Structure 1
Amino acid sequence: MSGSLWLPPGARPDTFPTIPKQRTTPSWAGPDPVDELAARLDDFVAAAVHPDEIAALLESDGLSDDQIRERYGVKNSFALAEELYERVPRRHPEPEAPPHDPWRASLLTCLLRGVVFALPGFAYVLAAAAPLPLLAGALTGWTWNQALAHRAYTWLGLGDERAAKRSLLRGAPTGVVLGTLVAWLASGTPDRSVAFAAGQSLYLGASTILLVRARERALLLALLPMATGAVVALFCGVPEVARLVLLLAPLTAVAILALLEVMPRGNADKGRGAVFNVRLPPRGRDQPQRTRSRKTTMGPPLSSSVPYALFGLATGTLVLHAALADTLTALILTLSMGPAEYLLHRLRSASTTALRSSTTPTAFRRAATRTLLHSLTTYLLTLLTLALTTGISPTPLLLLGTVLWTALLLQSFGAILSTTAICSVAALAQTFAPLTALTVYATTATPQAALACALLGKATAHR
């Protein structure tokens, strides 16, 4: 608590004795409850980089400010966290076994995902359909399936794999209907383009299921015949019947694989599921038991997925504008999503390591900022290499790549509302305002990069 004391004329502050911090707990009341709490939370408090980490743990344990005032004699959780932070010396002992890293990722798997993202583009070579219904259906699919993936991952984060499968099984067909309907409205007549848009919507829903379920290899094998046929069609004629088979066969295979992934399997799904974005350590014997909220047992609210849907719409619009200006730019961006995802995992893994090794908030902030700049630079160098190899203009590619990578970074740290608002404004500006693409990309990348640096410098954002 800071402030100033009134002093008589000529008096000096350093002549007064130091006033000890006042507490409401009397000295005769027995053992100090704050010391007892510090002993119970000793390992966690000793490893905390900032008192806010301790306050987050206290709040997650269900301690209200009234309970804290009654039990510990301080006004709120932040004051109690500061008390604990001062009483427990900083130490970061090395664990007996290597600590679990939830952000460890395989480079090969991430690169494979980038290839899987790009392969469906070959279908447009075989289809030769009108672009407007396809673009309308694609934007609808990206919007819907972004929200669907978020809901499924949230269920997995809660450890309920059965609920995740159920949400995918219900949500994917709904997305197919919506995408087809929007394409029909954009076309005006039920022509060939609408039929292709329906298949496109079916693929987007089925591939979302397979990607959430980490079945990238199965998806790649299903798409390879279509991609091979499209490459052949670029250099020589392919009969209409062969084009239809090359489109329908992979689509059928992807749909069947997705259906097999989400079909109920009795008791096999109980107790399974990945844990994503763990911010606090698991409860041990010496940590207070956390209350399970009613919201957790009921599942994530549907409204929590709306920002992710808008995020998919905004970023999809930016990529479509780039594709209309230069198809190769959009293809490179799509392929680069594999390395981008790997660098995001590496950044989060390095930040988790920095939490264990840093002893002050300033040291952690410096380490996190260095890691962020290194990861972003590596991604931009990857894009620059691809741009120079293919001969396209590197400036728009690098700027849009910065926008997309920082947007994904902010999304992974839970700043979905901020990045969705920024990207939505950019998409609207590029669609309706008389601004160049470079102006839109630059004015979007700057605030997102600044927000990412500010967010990653906080230790609590990585727990």
Structure 2
Amino acid sequence: MSGSIWMPPGAGPGTLPAIPRQRTAPSWAEPDPLDQLAGRLDDFIAAAVHPDEIAALLESDGLSDDQIRERYGLKNSFALAEELYDRVERRYPEPEGPAHDPWRTGLLGCLLRGIVFALPGLGYVLGAPLLAGPKDDLGLPAGTIPLLVGALCGWTWNQGLAHRAYSWLGLGDRSSARRSLLIGAPAGALLGSLVALCAIGTAGTGAVAFAAGQSCYLAAATALLVLGRERALLFALLPMAAGAVLAMIRPVPDEARVVLLLGSLTAVVVLGFREMAPTGSAPKGRGAVLDLRLPPRGRDQPRRSRRRPTTTTPRLTGSLPYALFGLGSGILVLYAALGDAPAAVALTLSMGPAEWLLHRFRSGGLAGLRSSSTSKDFWRTTARTLVGCLAAYLATLLALSLATAALWPHAPGVAGVRLAGLLLLGVVLWTGLLLQSFGAVLSAAVICCVAALAQTLALATHAGSPHWVGLTVYGAAAGVQAALVSGLLGRATAHR
């Protein structure tokens, strides 16, 4: 009947009409296009730290806003990126293979550098008869003051020069590093010779000549060490070292001593200038592999901006704190050498292991950054690594001091105040190098210079025994530097 509602058989007047069941989507229906896109970009979306990264990827794939509205029903790429970002759980997978560690270095190379640092000391053994003469006004052997003043000048100058050359190398500009060494090394040799000449006093011409040779050696050796030529420097020093060992066993004529000293010095200087000389393989400018200079501007070329280009030339003042650190630490080591020559030799030999342990600590700091989830955890991790590396360095310094004292003729015993002062000086030097690597080189330089000045004033005024003065000064400097290091341990930016 027209207009009536059909009811199933048996249904009465009060029975409600049947409601049709909701139809389910057939199994062959197409999946959600957003799910498809999220699955295709799953790895990238999971590693993204912000939706804008995903939007940039979508735009780089050529997906326009019109296509996004048609396919996904969203306004634009940013809305789509936010939707994808919300759909995929965050995952930050570790990179394949071992993590990059720029501080990883070999122990053998660092030990070689330590030996190279110590071998020049044998030159003083070989040249001792050439410096014979009456003692000066301070009661020191003839020629001591010119040699010490020349050495301090060389250490100060060459520390700053090495930093400037390393700065160029850090910028990938080896030719500019060579050029800075080629200009700075001869200037440092001349300056050291003139300073030694001004402090000649009652010393003879032999002391002046030896001090001049010392300045030339320091300049050339700095260039070789900066440019990674430790092996060449070692081979050049071997004749002099062999002659010094022979002189300890039996008498060696003065003529032979001069020949051995001049032979090794000449070899080092020639090798140094050979490394510093321009190679001619790179174009002029910054040592680039490719010549990226623009051709002359023609009529059909766009006008270049008049704004001055940004320069990456390292600042000269940036090398000054490194020079001051060389001065302060050099004075501290010289005072240790005047009171105990074997201890100074042990300190010099320990610089190789100290460099390796410093790299080990920086490597451990990077590992701590990857494994720690809070700043306190990171501080504790780096503190444990620091204690381990510093303890290993002090154990090495102790072993070297015992060995040198046992081999050195008529050497004073290594115990008590002497040993404590030596170990504290080792703490000062190692933590100073650590502060340098943290970027706090000015703090390390100021502390070492103040400690050197305090020790000088105390010894000049006879304020106490030299060993007790050294122990007090080294302990104070080590405590201040340790506090600075502790404050920087938890800063992630200091470990970059």
TM over 0.5: yes
Question: What's the TM-score, normalizing by structure 1?
Answer: 0.75
Q: 1:38 aligns with which of 17, 32, 50?
A: 50
2:353 matched to 1:339? yes
- Name structure 1 gaps, 5 residues minimum: 1-35, 43-87, 273-292
Corresponding position of 1:305: 319
2:286 matched to 1:261? no
- How far apart, CA to CA, are the structure 2 residues paired with 1:163 and 1:443? 40
2:194 matched to 1:194? no
Partner-residue secondary structure (3-state), 1:267:
coil
Q: Which amino acid aligns with 2:186?
A: P
What per-residue deviation string (whole Å, max 9, x for no partner) do you get for residues 102-147 of structure 1?
A: 1111101101100000000011112122211110100000000000
- How far apart, CA to CA, are the structure 1 residues paired with 2:273 and 2:373? 49
- How far apart, CA to CA, are the structure 2 residues paired with 1:349 and 1:414? 16
Does 93-102 or 398-407 show the bigger shift?
93-102
Q: Which amino acid aligns with 1:308?
A: Y
- How far apart, CA to CA, are the structure 2 residues paired with 1:231 and 1:387? 19
2:414 matched to 1:381? no
Corresponding position of 1:392: 414
2:167 matched to 1:154? yes
Corresponding position of 2:94: 94
Select the structure of larger CA radius of gyration: 2
Report the alpha carbon displacement of residue 100 of structure 1 after superposing the two structures with TM. 2.3
Q: 2:490 aligns with which of 427, 433, 457?
A: 457
Q: Which amino acid aligns with 1:154?
A: S
Report the alpha carbon displacement of residue 209 of structure 1 after superposing the two structures with TM. 0.4
What per-residue deviation string (whole Å, max 9, x for no partner) do you get for residues 161-187 of structure 1?
A: 111110000000000010000000000
Partner-residue secondary structure (3-state), 1:386:
helix
Judge conservation of contact 2:349–2:400 (CA < 8 Å) in 1: no
Corresponding position of 1:69: none
Report the alpha carbon displacement of residue 98 of structure 1 after superposing the two structures with TM. 2.0
Report the alpha carbon displacement of residue 89 of structure 1 after superposing the two structures with TM. 9.7
Judge conservation of contact 1:104–1:346 (CA < 8 Å) in 2: yes
Within a 5 Å distance, the mapping from 1:178-217 to structure 2 comes to: 178-188=191-201, 191-217=205-231
Name the CA shift for 1:450/1:198 in 2 (closer, same or farther; >3 Å). same
What per-residue deviation string (whole Å, max 9, x for no partner) do you get for residues 359-383 of structure 1?
A: 2212111111111111101111112
Within a 5 Å distance, the mapping from 1:425-440 to structure 2 comes to: 425-433=450-458, 434=463, 436-440=469-473
What per-residue deviation string (whole Å, max 9, x for no partner) do you get for residues 217-273 of structure 1?
A: 11111101101101111121111111011101111111111111111112348347x
Q: Which amino acid aligns with 1:121?
A: G
- How far apart, CA to CA, are the structure 2 residues paired with 1:343 and 1:215? 21
Judge conservation of contact 1:92–1:357 (CA < 8 Å) in 2: no
Question: What's the TM-score, normalizing by structure 2?
Answer: 0.70
| Structure ranking higher on relative contact order (CA contacts 8 Å, 6+ apart) | 1
Considering fraction of residues, name the structure with more helix: 1
- How far apart, CA to CA, are the structure 2 residues paired with 1:250 and 1:399? 34
Report the alpha carbon displacement of residue 296 of structure 1 after superposing the two structures with TM. 6.5
Q: Which amino acid aligns with 1:440?
A: V
- How far apart, CA to CA, are the structure 2 residues paired with 1:342 and 1:39? 43
Name the CA shift for 1:296/1:146 in 2 (closer, same or farther; >3 Å). farther
2:364 matched to 1:350? yes
Seq. identity, %:
61
Give me the CA root mean square deviation. Answer: 2.2
Judge conservation of contact 2:350–2:400 (CA < 8 Å) in 1: no
2:178 matched to 1:165? yes
Q: 2:234 aligns with which of 220, 242, 259?
A: 220
- How far apart, CA to CA, are the structure 2 residues paired with 1:151 and 1:190? 36
Report the alpha carbon displacement of residue 384 of structure 1 after superposing the two structures with TM. 2.0
Judge conservation of contact 1:351–1:368 (CA < 8 Å) in 2: yes
Partner-residue secondary structure (3-state), 1:265:
coil
Corresponding position of 1:240: 254
Name the CA shift for 1:267/1:329 in 2 (closer, same or farther; >3 Å). same
2:434 matched to 1:409? yes
Name the CA shift for 1:40/1:112 in 2 (closer, same or farther; >3 Å). farther
Q: Which amino acid aligns with 2:414?
A: I
Judge conservation of contact 1:161–1:271 (CA < 8 Å) in 2: no
Report the alpha carbon displacement of residue 38 of structure 1 after superposing the two structures with TM. 3.0
- How far apart, CA to CA, are the structure 2 residues paired with 1:459 and 1:89? 27
